[in-house]
Amino acid sequence: MESKDQDYSFDSVSIIGLVIKWKRTFFIITLIAIISSIAAAYIIDEKFKSTVILFPSTTNSISKTLLTANQGGHSTDLLEFGAEEHAEQLLQILNSDVIRDKVIEEFELITHYEIKDNSAYPKTEMYEEYKSNISFRRTEFMAVEIEVLDKNPETAAKIANYIAKLLDDTKTSIQKERAVEAYKIVERAYHDKIKFIDSMRDSLKFINKQGVYDVEQQSLALNEAYAKALMSNNKSGIKVIEEKLKILAEYSSDYMKLSESMIFELAALSEVRVQYERAKVDAEKSLPHTFIINRAVPAEKKSYPVRWLIVSVSTISTILLTLIAIILIENVRQYTPQELKES
């Protein structure tokens, strides 16, 4: 058993011996591997890389950022960079179908990537090509990186910068849609409140025309005048005052209720007006959602393929596979026909 173990074991010396023994084979296979890998490396299309690096902002609501502080509320710093969750939100938008389809349409990538119309799965091929050339990731510094590979360095830079702009526009569009709906709701509530207060004012004006302006003061003044008229036996004065007291009694209750309600409704209108102004700002205005640190520029040197790496990896892999095959052949040769039958 020990002798067999020794026969089938290989150390560095025996491997070198095998290489020397099979040197002709190694030379031919290595030469073929080098030539093939060089040919393959030059057949592969060159690609240039362009990159955009941006940080998310914390600003979502303009009104919350710009208007709340003046009203004693907590405001968000307009210039603050976003945190991890904001970067993840941007990545979700970047990986959305909306972004992908608009980029494909804008740059006519089906034609650019030479996707055949008669292909069995043209969309699948298009999406796979898009995914292999355009990628997004979050950096260790919580920034978002947009990376584009393309045969044309100008096109790579244009696509990367377009995606950065499209990212901001898409997030604005998503938030704007909600902001507009919210604005419509608040606007309707605001105008309804104004109409209600106007109707209360009209009712108060009607009561004022009947001669009721200040129930408490008028009541004191009329009662005092009525007492004096009684003491002086002023019948005509008594009759006039009684008519005024009758009117005051008829409308005093409504006047008091309307006056108190008016104070409450005016305070409520003030709050609704603040909400209305905020909603209007959010619906009509927008701020950038990203801070672009690096814009994409056309690359001067190709990034893919790395030919020396392709040739090196291919050649080394071929040599290792050849060595393994030779070791197997040498081991098989050590068996006798009888041993092969027994095994």
pLDDT score of 307: 61
The mean pLDDT of 156-161, rounded to a whole number, is 95
Q: What is the pLDDT of residue 304?
A: 62
Contact 167, 52 (CB under 8 A): no
Residue predicted with more confidence, 30 or 334: 30
**Confidence at residue 317, expressed as pLDDT on a 0 to 100 scale:** 80
Name the strand (E) or helix (H) holding 292: strand 290-294
Identify which has the larger pLDDT, 175 or 330.
175
pLDDT of residue 7: 47
Determine the pLDDT at residue 1. Answer: 42
pTM: 0.65
Query: Residue 61: exposed, middle, or buried by beta-carbon count in 10 A (0-12, 13-18, 19+)?
Result: middle
Look at residue 205 and tell me whether its pLDDT is greater than 70. yes
Predicted local distance difference test score (pLDDT) of residue 210: 83
3-state secondary structure 6-67: HHHCCCHHHHHHHHHHCHHHHHHHHHHHHHHHHHHHHHCCCEEEEEEEEEEECCCCHHHHHC
Confidence at 44, pLDDT banded by 50, 70, 90: low
Radius of gyration of the chain, Cα coordinates, nearest whole angstrom: 43
- CA dihedral over 233, 237, 240, 246, signed as positive or negative: negative
Average pLDDT of the residues in 300-328:
73
Higher pLDDT, 125 or 281: 125
Query: Looking at the predicted structure, is the pLDDT value of residue 200 above 50?
Result: yes
Per residue in 93-131, pLDDT (tens digit) is: 999 999 999 999 999 999 998 888 787 888 899 999 999
Residue 337 has pLDDT above 60, yes or no: no
Count of Cβ atoms closer than 10 Å to residue 172 Cβ: 15
Query: Which of 71-75, 124-128, 310-314 bottoms out in mean pLDDT, i.e. has the lowest?
Result: 71-75
Model pLDDT, residue 193: 92
Q: What percent of the chain has pLDDT over 70?
A: 80
Summarize the confidence of residues 319-332 as an average pLDDT.
Answer: 76
pLDDT at 2: 45
- The answer on pLDDT for 207 being more than 50 is yes
pLDDT at 8: 44
Report the pLDDT value the prediction gives residue 118, as an integer from 0 to 100.
80
